[in-house]
Amino acid sequence: MKIFNPHENEIIKDVYKGLDIPSRRLFGKKALSLGAISMLSGCTLSNEDSIEKALMVMSRFNDRVQGWLFDPNKMAPTYSEGMITRPFPFNAFYSEAEIRPSPENFRLKISGMVQDAKDWTLAELNAMPQTSQITRHICVEGWSAIGKWGGVRFSDFLTRIGADTNASYVGFRCHDDYYTSIDMPTALHAQTLLTLTYADEVLPPKYGYPLKLRIPTKLGYKNPKYIQEIFITNVNPGGYWEDQGYNWFGGS
């Protein structure tokens, strides 16, 4: 199992630096001795397996620290049209040739702690006030790219469905069986966008048609494409990569 460690990734290190997040202190592998990790995590570090378990506990601990550090008013950098990466990369847990078509008669499902759990059509989503932004997407696999995404500010959408914003998590289920979840402060961040377009065109299949959540304050794997269902919950829904050891908070 691969434990996500930002020390191993130069781009992420730079981003953490740029955002003034003391990742060096938070991600204890270098700053903390194995003894200290063992004490903090309550795991005996006798073999590789237990070391991985301990690092997993530390990653959970990091989720809390990162949650405290998250500044809802701090914006991710934005860029000019001329800085957009062309072509923008495709990435998923399968190859581009294996992209599955969106189900016909798409309806976005809403569930959990909301007042109005009615389904949404794309036309209804397009009728809401739209905004767009040019931001950098960062993938832990070691690449980053600048793109332009447009759609509905997610906080507007959450207000519209009467989401309980005192709940802890927003979860996402996707038509390719991907899933992920985010904390409520990130969901309400002004740059978090329920995305309907890429480069001013209807979101193409490779970038997540019909719906993607674009979160420029978080790493690529926290940006679900092909969204089918959004739910509000107090139980951490985890995620496809997060459940395999990637840090759950996954961002600034």
Q: Which residues would be at the binding site for Mo ion (CB under 5 A)? A: 139, 220-221
Determine the interface stretch with ligand MTE among 26-34, 77-85, 182-190, 217-225 (rule: CB under 6 A).
217-225
Can you tell me which of 220, 239, 250, 251 binds ligand MTE, judged by CB under 6 A? 220
Return the number of other C-beta atoms located less than 10 Å from residue 19's C-beta. 16
**Secondary structure, 3-state, 90-157:** CCCCCCHHHCCCCCCCCCEEEEECECCCCCECHHHHHCCCCEEEEEEEEECCCEEEEEEEEEEEHHHH
Return the number of other C-beta atoms located less than 10 Å from residue 44's C-beta. 11
32 or 139: whose CB is closer to Mo ion?
Answer: 139
Across the beta sheet with 109-112, the strand order is 109-112, 227-233, 169-174, 179-183
- Residue 176 binds what, of Mo ion, ligand MTE, none (CB under 5 to 8 Å, by partner type)? ligand MTE
Task: Answer yes or no whether residue 178 interacts with ligand MTE by CB under 6 A.
Answer: yes
153 or 222: whose CB is closer to Mo ion?
Answer: 222
Contacts of ligand MTE in 56-95 (CB under 6 A)? 89-93
Number of shown-chain residues binding ligand MTE (CB under 6 A) = 18
Distance CA 145, CA 88 (A): 7
Contacts of ligand MTE in 129-168 (CB under 6 A)? 137, 139
- Interface residue list for ligand MTE (CB under 6 A): 89-93, 137, 139, 174, 176, 178, 206-207, 220-221, 223-226
